[in-house]
Structure formats: structure tokens, C-alpha cells
Amino acid sequence: MNHSTASNIDINMEISMPKIIQDIVTQMHFYQKMHNIKEQCIQNVSYLIDNIRTTFPSCKAEAKAVIVVSSIPEKKYNRITIHMIIRIDKYICDPSYEIASLENSTYYDNFTDYKKSLSPSSEYIHSGEFKNDAELLSSFLKFIKHASDINNGDCLVCNKDIYHKQADYIEKCFS
């Protein structure tokens, strides 16, 4: 996994988190890969942050909305994704296999830095579900609100079946 980051966010989990959190994330990624779970970053963050708060109450973990740019050089293509991660100090933890497994990804925690990173002369095609910057910004602002809700103690679950099955799997891994 080759990741770079913006706005002083570092994806090096080994330095920042207890090994058990890294192990939980590894098992979450394995489960998600095996069951082809996609587009569940909000509930992945909800699950993991609740787990961190319960297990490591002194750990200052917070949900954070990000814009992820994943470059595919051989296709001259950039995939733009609105996403959610967990920030612990200046480090990030991405509990979603779908995005964490992409190579050449840069995580932006604000729209201004994301926009500054784009080169108008680039040959790359910027692709995603967004027709324009207004749609991208609108979606990003919704994710910022969801992150705030999670940080205020809400557990946002989009698909209870996926959430509980993954939670059961993780529990079995560590019992």
C-alpha cells in the first residue's frame, strides 16, 4: 500500500496506535475483502471508533471526513472519493479495505488542499460520482457532519446485517 497524505496526516499506523487496533483493522480488511463489502466507510468508522473508545478510553480517536485521490498512472486516471477515516493524533487509520487497499492514494482533510493539489495541465482524467466541484463539496460537507455525529457519540449504521456480521467476526478473532 503506497499512500501519501496532505495536511500533515500520516498513514503510518505502526507508530501511532496500539498493536491491537492495527490487528482489528487487519481483520476488518480481511473480512471486507472476503465478503466484497464496499461503500461502508461510515459504519466501519463507527464500529472501530466505538471499539477504540471502549478498549482504550484515553486514546484520542476522532472520525474525520476526507477526500481521497487515488492515481492509476498506467491509465492516467484519478479516482476521487469522499471517505471517512479515524484520526489518532496526526495519524490516520482507514478501516475500509475498499479505499485502504488502493495504491497511490492521497488523503485530504479539507477541500482547499484538495483543490490546490489538482494540476489543470495534468493529463489525468479525474473521475468519481461527482459532476462538478459543487457536488463534491456538498458530499464532503455531509461527511463532515456524519463525522461530527460519530465524534459526539452517535453510531451511524447503514446496514445492520453487515455491521453485526463483521462485529461478530472480529469478536471471534479476538476471543
| Strands annotated E in the chain | 3-5, 61-72, 77-88, 91-93, 105-108, 125-127
165, with CB counted inside 10 A (0-12, 13-18, 19+), is middle
158-175 pLDDT, tens per residue?
888 998 999 999 999 988
- Mean pLDDT of the residues in the chain: 84
The angle subtended at Cα 24 by Cα 22 and Cα 30, nearest 5°, is 105
- Average confidence (pLDDT) over 34-60: 92
Residue 14 has pLDDT above 90, yes or no: no
Whole-angstrom distance, CA of residue 46 vs CA of residue 122: 36
Given a cut of 70, whether residue 133 has pLDDT beyond it is: yes
Q: What is the pTM of this model?
A: 0.83
Q: Which helix (H) or strand (E) holds 114?
A: helix 111-117
Residues 49-69: tens digit of each pLDDT = 999 988 888 888 999 999 998
Range of 8-17, 96-105, 126-135 with top mean pLDDT: 96-105
pLDDT class of 128 with cuts at 50, 70, 90: low
pLDDT average, residue stretch 29-41: 96
71-124 pLDDT, tens digit per residue, is 877 777 788 899 999 998 778 899 999 999 998 899 999 999 988 887 665 655
DSSP letters for 58-74: TS-EEEEEEEEEEEEGG
For the cut 90, the answer to whether the pLDDT of residue 129 exceeds it is no
Cα distance between residue 85 and residue 88, in whole Å: 10
Q: Which of 2-6, 97-101, 152-156 has the lowest mean pLDDT?
A: 2-6
Question: Can you tell me the mean pLDDT for 41-49?
Answer: 94
CA proximity to 39, closest of 159, 167, 164:
159
Burial class of residue 157 in the structure, from the number of CB atoms within 10 Å of its CB (0-12 exposed, 13-18 middle, 19+ buried): middle
Least trusted range by pLDDT, from 19-28, 38-47, 106-115, 128-137: 128-137
